[in-house]
Amino acid sequence: MPRLRLCLLGKKNFVEDGATTNDDNMRQTNEEPNEEKSRLVTHLRPAASSDGVMVLDVSGEIDLATLPAFKQALLNALDQSENGRVILNMTGVGYMDSSGFGTLLSANKGLRASGGTLSLVGCNPNITRMIFITRLNTLFSLYDTENDALAAVTPVVADAASEMPAPAAP
């Protein structure tokens, strides 16, 4: 028996493909969930011009339903970053709820404790507005482009490498 799905539609009522809506603007369908149409897509890659910096490309929606996948992708980025520097490319994120902001806060707290940074790139106007309203802009570095974030992160990496003691002479 197919599972019944309810989809919140906002204030519009309509009937499509035999589905019905009720007074609470909930749509009931008999269609199976399609895993290929995931609401969140992530891709982890090393930054093009910076050693050890990882870039996590995220697109879709970050909410309670997609949070486990987002958390796992962010943990993978933190684990694979050799120097604790992670750039979160959010140009494809259309929506993020409080659970997403909480995950970013937790990741940032862990990175800062170990000397790392979490930089956000390409946040849409609504997400940027929430970041400023909640004063999270005092914790996160926000950039328009990945190149801007790399330029800001790379000197920190170079400075850390220059502070390493010189190898002992043989």
Which CATH number does the domain housing residue 77 bear? 3.30.750.24
Mean pLDDT on 100-126: 93
Residue 59 β-bridge partners: 41, 92
Q: Are residues 25 and 73 in the same domain?
A: no
Q: Are residues 62 and 85 in the same domain?
A: yes
Tell me which residue of 76, 33, 82 sits closest to 57, measured CA to CA: 76
Q: Do 69 and 101 touch, CB atoms closer than 8 A?
A: no
Q: Are residues 22 and 85 in the same domain?
A: no
Question: Over 50: is that where the pLDDT of 47 sits?
Answer: yes
* DSSP strand pairing (117-121 vs 141-143): parallel
Does an H or E element contain 80, and which?
Answer: helix 67-80
Would you say residue 169 lies in a domain?
A: no
Mean pLDDT on 25-31: 38
Question: Over 50: is that where the pLDDT of 41 sits?
Answer: yes
Does an H or E element contain 59, and which?
Answer: strand 54-62
Mean pLDDT on 17-28: 39
Would you say residue 140 lies in a domain?
A: yes
Cα 117 from Cα 139, distance rounded (Å): 10
pLDDT for 31 equals 42
pLDDT for 46 equals 93
Cα 61 from Cα 96, distance rounded (Å): 6
Please tell me the chain's helix, strand, coil percentages from 3-state DSSP, rounded to the nearest 5.
Answer: 35, 25, 35
Cα 20 from Cα 128, distance rounded (Å): 36
Q: Are residues 91 and 135 in the same domain?
A: yes
Q: Are residues 100 and 82 in the same domain?
A: yes
Average pLDDT, the chain: 77
Question: Over 90: is that where the pLDDT of 28 sits?
Answer: no
Q: Which domain holds residue 10?
A: 5-37
If one counts the domains in the chain, the total is 2
Q: What is the pTM of this model?
A: 0.69
Q: Are residues 72 and 150 in the same domain?
A: yes
Q: Do 125 and 114 touch, CB atoms closer than 8 A?
A: no
Q: Are residues 49 and 93 in the same domain?
A: yes
Would you say residue 167 lies in a domain?
A: no
Q: Are residues 70 and 31 in the same domain?
A: no
Mean pLDDT on 126-144: 94
Question: Over 90: is that where the pLDDT of 120 sits?
Answer: yes
pLDDT for 99 equals 96
